[in-house]
Chain A
Amino acid sequence: MRTIHVDEISGAVARLVVEANTVLGADMLRSFDRSLASESSPAGRSVLIMLQDNARISREEGAAYCQDTGFAIAFVELGSEVHIAGGTLQQAIDAGVRRGYTQGFLRASIVQDPLYGRKNTGDNTPAVVHIEQVPGDHLSITMMAKGGGCENRSQFKMLKPSDGVPGVMDFIVGCISNAGPDACPPLIAGVGIGGTFEKAALLSKQALLRELGSPNPDPKLDELEKQALERANKLGIGPQGYGGDTTALAVHIRSYPCHIASLPVAVTIECHAHRHKHVEL
């Protein structure tokens, strides 16, 4: 049994949330380059160039890429041979979020009560923590900073099994169309198919973590992703909704076994401020 103290986890999380908010991933930067090469709308091109500038300024000056520095979501792989000492994972991650957001000049965007009073917690806690147990003695943490504007356009639908592939395709493209300019396109759609109501939603978030431009390991889903992306980019919404060819940068899908009666589909809408960083402890 390996023991990891919560302080080590908090320190790592504090670093990850700052890095996620100030250093956009290389896969995202490459996707901006690819989009610029194909974007025919002048307004759309000017937006993409501004996003490249924004990423550079953010990295060089340590300034948040977007002022919405997001809901902190943790995806944890916890080895079965790991013992967490000094507290719980939730406590450790919250302490890291508190420190990273406060000391890193990131915005506090979380209210304590969603319905009554909506008072800001002041330090962007609590985090949403997803823990998956894996074999071995390693602990890996991916911190995602999830923006509110795009999250507001995420959707879930219980399709009928008879709706099949066309039904899923229509729903994905419909979600991107519905998100439109509100969700800060160019967008990424994370899609969870199968499982239960809550499992599909989690899959849709996990799907976002795959490297942009990498193929889906499942050839059938890879084909579905490509077709959905092609259809999304025919919508004409374009960068920021000003009209153009680049409405979405990617569609990423994960699936899971499901009930004989069901075909659940969840779509997490993610904006171009697609921020996530990973550490192995």
Chain B
Amino acid sequence: MPTGSAPAPGTSPASAPRKPVRPPLSDADVASLRAGDLVAITGVLYTARDAAHALLIAALDAGQPLPFDVKGQIIYYVGPTPPHPGEVIGSAGPTTGGRMDAYAPRLLALGLKGMIGKGYRNATVKEALKTHKAIYFGAVGGAGAYLRKHIVKVEMIAYAELGTEAVRRLEVVDFPAIVINDCHGGDLYAAGQKQYQRA
């Protein structure tokens, strides 16, 4: 089956009620989302993980422009597998967000409105989400074969030499995610664990 044909309605949790999210996001869009909200993202995402983030920050340090304007945008922390013939992308689930903690506040200050990853963010990033009005979304780590079916178009934007770690522009349809950290200090990881913890 070619990439882009999303799973049939009613067969997956993607069919559960989800708030639509359409980047670019405004402060008001961001403020309307709360930790624990299930969302379906449609529109453009930019991919970047460890090596690309190091280059993005190096470009800023050198006073050079970024390969894309981060204002209002969402960065997806992903390093996809190569596409099979006839497909636009291979498996494409999230990687651990915490490894981008050192870089994220700089991009948030420039107007980045969302990041998609999995795993804890540090206190500095969570504070930057409040200061700059932005969201940390979680996608289901390890569900790479499933998530790739919500990606309909891929364009190489920068750092092609990084291979899987290059910056790509994705077009996604109803990409399933959940709000982990919102701009009001809400934290799904903390709240969820507290709710289900047993002595």
List, in ascending order, chain B residues with CB within 8 A of A68's CB: 79, 93, 95, 144
Q: A51-B140, A107-B82, A271-B141 are in contact. Are A67 and B93 (CB under 8 A)?
A: yes
Within 8 A of A (CB), among B90-131: 90-93, 95-96, 98, 118-120
A62 touches B84 (CB 8 A): yes
List, in ascending order, chain A residues with CB within 8 A of B176's CB: 50
List, in ascending order, chain B residues with CB within 8 A of A40's CB: 196
B81 touches A107 (CB 8 A): yes
Bound complex: CA A50 to CA B13 (Å): 6
Bound complex: CA A182 to CA B11 (Å): 27
Q: A107-B80, A149-B95 are in contact. Are A236 and B193 (CB under 8 A)?
A: yes
Bound complex: CA A50 to CA B138 (Å): 14
A143 at the B interface (CB under 8 A): no
B1 touches A47 (CB 8 A): no
Bound complex: CA A239 to CA B83 (Å): 28
List, in ascending order, chain A residues with CB within 8 A of B162's CB: 120
Choice from A57, A61, A67 contacting B80 with Cβ under 8 Å: A67
Q: Which of A134-142, A203-211, A241-249, A257-265 contacts its partner? A: A241-249
Query: Number of B residues contacting the other chain (C-beta, 8 Å)?
Result: 54
B163 at the A interface (CB under 8 A): yes
Bound complex: CA A72 to CA B178 (Å): 31
Choice from B119, B149, B197 contacting A241 with Cβ under 8 Å: B119
A181 touches B119 (CB 8 A): yes
B146 at the A interface (CB under 8 A): yes
Q: Which of B23-31, B167-175, B184-192 contacts its partner? A: B184-192
A267 at the B interface (CB under 8 A): no
List, in ascending order, chain B residues with CB within 8 A of A43's CB: 36, 38, 178, 192
Bound complex: CA A58 to CA B164 (Å): 19
B192 touches A49 (CB 8 A): no
B145 touches A243 (CB 8 A): no
Q: A43-B178, A107-B82 are in contact. Are A54 and B142 (CB under 8 A)?
A: yes
B199 at the A interface (CB under 8 A): yes
Can you list 6 A-B pairs with a CB-CB distance of less than 8 A? A64-B144, A107-B81, A152-B96, A236-B195, A238-B192, A243-B188
